[in-house]
Structure 1
Amino acid sequence: MAAQDLPYAKKTVKTLTSKKYWGRGYTKNGMANAADFIENEMKSFGLSPLSEVGYKQYFSFPVNTFPSKMELKINGKKLNPGKDFIVHQASKGIKTSDSLIRKDSLTYISKKGNVAVSLAPKLTWSVSQKVLDYTLIEINNKTVPFQLSNFEVNIENEFVTNFTAANVMAMVKGTTKPDSIIVFTAHYDHLGGMGNKTYFPGANDNASGVAMLLNLAKYYAANPPKYSIVFIAFAAEEIGLLGSKYFTENPLFPLKNIRFLWNLDLLGNGDEGATIVNATIHPKAFEVLNKINDQQKYLPKINPRGKAANSDHYFFSEKGVPAFFLYTQGGITAYHDVYDIAKTLPFTSYENLFRLFLDFNLELMN
């Protein structure tokens, strides 16, 4: 791997986690801007589109969003969104003030019964395809270590019934066996913004995977192998693997042509090695991977894991495609929160992972 590729990866993560991309989500055109960025990178490397429709595959779905107001005061104290509190992703917007009734050590209900407040040691957010008829708020228990008695809230939600997103795809045609395909996938979406002042950067999850996807695309574009290599950046993973589900139901080439699929998600750490989902489903491939790793000492260890519906490999596996989902372990623990930022991402095993993917693919093609 060329020495300049790690700086490229760091630059890519820094770009995708910047304000312009607003958490690569559902407000301020975050996801669409990220899709454009990825498409432009793929074009700049000289990759071909997968079909005559171009580099993007569009699909739609409903989503609950929080584009504007996100304000909360507890006992007169103003709290910061993302750091001090989060609103549950399926919550209805509300503007009200009320007293709080304690239900148990962690839960309070408003006197009117339309707002629930709970205390949590860590605030992790998500995305929802539905909206509730009440409002749920989680508060960091380190922020308010006191009895809660009253609150003022002004939260605005917008339920979008037909949000349009795009999978971004390109390929390098194989030199001798173009109908045999190796696929790399990584989801580029994250959680987006909660209000108009707070967004979730998603450095490890999953700007790190996108950086690897693009690095590999750049490499294979310059060094075309025997097999065709397809690169797919999926949208809407965080809301239920919707991008990969849509692709497997509307594939742009026969899925039976896929010799192997690598799903890249959470690649920014690695000092404790990595885990392979589907390792127990494909023991021979896992054995090959471990043999390479033992010889080259790329990672401290590679842990096997069974089947799991926890990322974009899943719907391919369900269709009989041999697939591994690799994620790294150790390092920072920031996940689905405002602290998953580019600055603290260690990239511990990044270059070695790159080499591991190349070596495995070479073994597979030979």
Structure 2
Amino acid sequence: MKNLLALIGLISLFAPNAFAASATPLAGAAPLDSATLLADVRTLSAPELAGRRTGSEGSKMAQVYIARRFEQIGIKPFGANYAMPFAFTSLRGQVKTEYPAALNLVGHIRGSVHPERYMVVSAHYDHLGVQKGAAYLGADDNASGVAAMLAVAAYFKQNPPQNTIVFAAFDAEELGHHGARALVKAAPFPIANVALNLNFDMVSRNDKNEIYAAGTRYTPSLKPLVAKAAASSSVKVRLGHDSKVPGAPPDDDWTGQSDHAVFHEAGIAFLYFGVEDHADYHQPSDSFEKIDPTFFAEVARLLVSAAAILDQNLDTLK
């Protein structure tokens, strides 16, 4: 009860309707309420949520907040609510851990032209929790991706998509992409009708003012669509990190590095946006204060634009 009261206090303090929209977008850029964007990240990475480790009280608080935001935006559940519970076993070395109560949050905005065709927009909300007494708050990884996903949802609610857009806040990415696996295995919609997974993971800070779009090597028809979205952004969009480069470390190829990997394994095209690792990656110092608000707002506009362009061109992917 104490933690639930803390969350209610957080929602009251950081709720999107407590802020006015701010920051003027570039000409041709998608509209964005940047104050709401920052409010979402600040709430999800607050110390009270203690790093949102799968199965923790902080994770449950994050679930309540995300479900409330889905409802505020007008995302529709596939059933009675957004909750998609699942269980899994994590094997790290010789240590086996059972997770009986993990939870994805999944909803949709129905397509106005091709409701039978789907694009899944995803971001994982879990992080590393508390380790050796230190809370790993996970602001960039990946409260930022969840906030960007919510911004995309808000755009499509005001601008109905041609295709049905599924919004998935995944649990247990840090433990092996288990949330994405649970959705692909038991989706409440025809998984064979998914044309694309658009995945966001770490999108709020970069000293070079750049972000990578991975996945175009597998689906080259994505390249001109990414270029079109990038044309109206002040952020540099790089293509890459989706192939094995001779001499490069194994983690230079991001094909298997986040939830899009599960869609790729299922033969579904993906486009993954994320920044390169920084000094606070998987550290307790990955906090809200380290986020670059200007960069993050511009990236979120880019992602909204990319989602809109992809929705209009899903039939061209091959």
Which string of whole-angstrom CA distances, capped at 9 and with x for unpartnered residues, describes residues 33-73 of structure 1?
111211111011121102x252111112346xxxxxxxxxx
Indicate yes or no: 2:259 matched with 1:312: yes
The alpha-carbon distance between structure 1 residues 352 and 162, as it changes in their structure 2 partners (threshold 3 A), is closer
Q: Give the whole-Å Cα distance in 2 for the aligned partners of 1:217 and 1:291.
A: 20
Match of 1:253 in 2: 189
* Aligned mate of 2:84, from 48, 54, 57: 57
Greater fraction helix: 2
Structure 2 equivalent of residue 201 of structure 1: 137
Moved over 4 A (4+): 128-132
Q: Partner of 1:97 in structure 2?
A: none
**Structure 2 gaps, min length 5:** 1-29, 244-254
CA contact (8 A) 2:49 2:59 kept: yes
Matches within 5 A, 1:232-247: 232-247=168-183
Counterpart position of 1:25: 53
**Displacement of 1:284 after TM fit?**
1.4
Alignment deviations for residues 222-272 of structure 1 (CA, whole Å, 9 cap, x no partner):
221221111000000001111101111112111221122200001012444
Q: Percent identity?
A: 25
Mind listing any 5+ residue stretches in structure 1 that lack a counterpart? 64-127, 133-158
The corresponding residue for 2:246 is none
Equivalent runs, 1:264-343 vs 2, <5 Å: 264-270=200-206, 271-293=208-230, 295-306=231-242, 308-329=255-276, 332-343=278-289
148, 155, 169: which one pairs with 1:219?
155
Q: Secondary structure, in 3 states, of the residue corresponding to 2:35?
A: helix
**Is 1:181 matched with 2:118?**
yes
Which of 2, 5, 11 lines up with 2:39 in the alignment? 11
How many Å apart are 1:27 and its aligned residue? 6.5
Which residue in the other structure is 1:152 paired with? none
Q: Normalised by the size of structure 1, how large is the TM-score?
A: 0.68
RMSD: 2.3
2:105 pairs, out of 147, 165, 168, with: 168
1:297–1:14: structure 2 CA closer, same or farther, 3 Å change rule?
closer
Aligned residues: 271
- Cα pair 1:14 1:342 within 8 Å, conserved: yes
Structure 2 letter corresponding to 1:342: F
Deviations 1:198-238 (A, max 9, x none): 21000000000000011111221222122111100000000
Q: Greater strand percent: which structure?
A: 1
Question: CA–CA distance in 2 between the matches of 1:233 and 1:274?
Answer: 21
Task: Give me the whole-angstrom Cα distance separating, in 2, the residues matched to 1:365 and 1:309.
Answer: 23
**Does the CA-based 8 Å contact 2:235-2:299 persist in structure 1?**
no
Matched AA of 1:59: F
Change (3 A) 1:225 1:200: same
Q: Write the deviation string for residues 152-187 of structure 1: whole angstroms up to 9, x where unpaired.
A: xxxxxxx86344110101101111211111210000
Tell me, in whole angstroms, the C-alpha distance in 1 between the residues paired with 2:48 and 2:55.
11
Inter-partner Cα distance in structure 2 for 1:227 and 1:167: 22
Per the alignment, do residues 284 and 346 of structure 1 end up closer, same or farther by CA in structure 2, a change over 3 Å counting? same
Matched, 1:47 2:75: yes
- In structure 2, what is the Cα distance between the partners aligned to 1:221 and 1:276? 25
Contact kept in structure 2, 1:60 and 1:162, CA below 8 Å: yes
Aligned residues of 1:276 and 1:304 also touching (Cα < 8 A): yes
Deviations 1:99-138 (A, max 9, x none): xxxxxxxxxxxxxxxxxxxxxxxxxxxxx65665xxxxxx
